[in-house]
Amino acid sequence: MELIEAIILSVLAASTPLLLAATGELVAERSGVLNLGVEGMMIVGAACGFGGAWLTGSIIVGALCGILAGVLMSLLFAAMALGLAVNQVATGLALTIFGIGLSGLIGAGFVGERITPAPHLYVPFITNIPLIGRILFGEDGFVYLSLALIAAVWWFLYRTRAGLIVRACGDNHVSAHALGYPVLRIRMYAVMFGGACAGLAGAYLPLAYTPFFIPGMTAGRGWIALALTVFASWRPGRLVIGAYLFGAVTILQLHAQGAGIGIPSQFMSSLPYLATVIVLVLLSRARTGGSTAPAALGTVFVPDR
């Protein structure tokens, strides 16, 4: 019973950065922008988030630093991909390469330092209920925030007029432009939201997951978040399922390693990456009839006037 509780708790923690980053990318992609720089925005968010928390001693300041760093990185992307109409794939790669270097520079000052990780919720009596108590009422704030955020995104995209306009930009930017919507500005806001989420997702790692910063600590989570948007067919509900499934794969392979079954640890560690490839293949295969991706995803738009 204790082990199951521990596993579920660690699955939730491992899934949260994936869910946060994928939520942001989902909105950006729904507006028609493919930002491959999630990994870069996350790792800079991790470095700045840890730096902020370490200097001030406040987890909230750390989280805000991570968000701000992610937004600044995404503005760099927006200036290139939207402002200068540069190929989005190449720009995203540049953002990741740049981000990995930049995070190393920022983080060099506090490698090896530790902070007190983000506190977990505690409701008297309720949190002490066996099994479900700690799982439902004993998480850190980021876990609840990530779920609230994806719910808000669902409501925004499907229940508000602004969300409809964002989706219109993603499906047909020429029509949206002809109707008088400022396509590039809307996309910039969507990309900034993506950056904020990726920055927060990165900051989650040193603020709550492991209370210290190591270079390259995102370890491909940004890329897995990108794969999750495909997995989810760009739908918020499926994104939650996908994020928790991937979190579960990550944690179960760790527990399998710990249990000492006779498989080399490197093979278990490669499972999340192999699972991503297999899932992408199976899903892409399942929808050979027609793609569910936003129709204008990744295409350059230069308004003619």
Partner 1 sequence: MQLVLEKRAERSRTVALISPLIAIGLTIVTMTILFAVMGKNPILALYVYFIAPLADGYSLQEIAVKATPLVMIAIGLSLCYLANAWNIGAEGQFLMGAVAGSWIAVKTQGTEAGHWVLPAMLLLGAIAGALYALIPAICKVRFGASEILTSLMLVYVADLLLDYLVRGPWRDPQGFNFPTTAEFDPVATVPTLIEAGRLHLGSILALIVVAAGAVLLGKTIKGFEIRVVGAAPRAARFGGFNANQLILLTFAISGALSGLAGIIEVAGPVGHLQPGISPGYGFTAIIVAFLGRLNPVGILIAGLFLALTFIGGEQAQIAMKIPLDVTKVFQGVLLFYVLACDSLILYRFRIISSAPQVARGTH
**Quick one: tokens of 93?**
């790669």
Cα–Cα distance measured from residue 242 to residue 282, given in angstroms and rounded to the nearest whole number: 14
When binding is defined by CB under 8 A, the residue of 21, 28, 95, 201 that contacts partner 1 is 95
Residue type, 195: G
DSSP of 211-230? SB--TTTTTTHHHHHHHHHH
Cα–Cα distance measured from residue 273 to residue 264, given in angstroms and rounded to the nearest whole number: 16
Cβ neighbours, 10 Å, residue 303: 11
Cβ neighbours, 10 Å, residue 96: 23
When binding is defined by CB under 8 A, the residue of 56, 116, 284, 292 that contacts partner 1 is 284
- Tell me if 220 contacts partner 1 by CB under 8 A: yes
Asked if 303 and 177 count as a contact pair (C-beta separation under 8 A), the reply is yes
Asked if 188 and 82 count as a contact pair (C-beta separation under 8 A), the reply is yes
- Residue holding tokens 């927006």? 78
Toward partner 1, which CB reaches closer, 8 or 55?
55
Residue type, 272: P
DSSP of 129-142? STTHHHHHHSSBHH
Residue 55 beta carbon to partner 1: minimum distance, rounded to whole angstroms: 18
- Tell me if 295 contacts partner 1 by CB under 8 A: no
Residue 153 beta carbon to partner 1: minimum distance, rounded to whole angstroms: 22
When binding is defined by CB under 8 A, the residue of 70, 99, 170, 202 that contacts partner 1 is 99
Piece of 1-9, 128-136, 247-255, 269-277 that binds partner 1 (CB under 8 A):
269-277
- Tell me if 264 contacts partner 1 by CB under 8 A: yes
Toward partner 1, which CB reaches closer, 83 or 119?
83
- Residue holding tokens 């390259």? 216
Sign of the C-alpha dihedral computed for residues 234, 239, 243 and 249 taken in this order: negative
When binding is defined by CB under 8 A, the residue of 58, 72, 104, 163 that contacts partner 1 is 104
Piece of 14-22, 55-63, 135-143, 296-304 that binds partner 1 (CB under 8 A):
296-304
- Tell me if 299 contacts partner 1 by CB under 8 A: no
Residue 192 beta carbon to partner 1: minimum distance, rounded to whole angstroms: 18
Residue 254 beta carbon to partner 1: minimum distance, rounded to whole angstroms: 14
When binding is defined by CB under 8 A, the residue of 16, 23, 146, 276 that contacts partner 1 is 276
- Tell me if 290 contacts partner 1 by CB under 8 A: no
CA distances (Å), 133 to each of 104, 121, 130, 247, in order?
39, 11, 6, 20
Residue 147 beta carbon to partner 1: minimum distance, rounded to whole angstroms: 25
Asked if 17 and 42 count as a contact pair (C-beta separation under 8 A), the reply is yes
Residues forming contacts to partner 1 in the complex (CB under 8 A) are 36, 76, 80, 83-87, 89-91, 93-95, 97-105, 108, 215, 219-220, 223, 226-227, 230, 264, 266-267, 269-270, 273-274, 276-277, 280-281, 283-285, 288, 291, 302-305
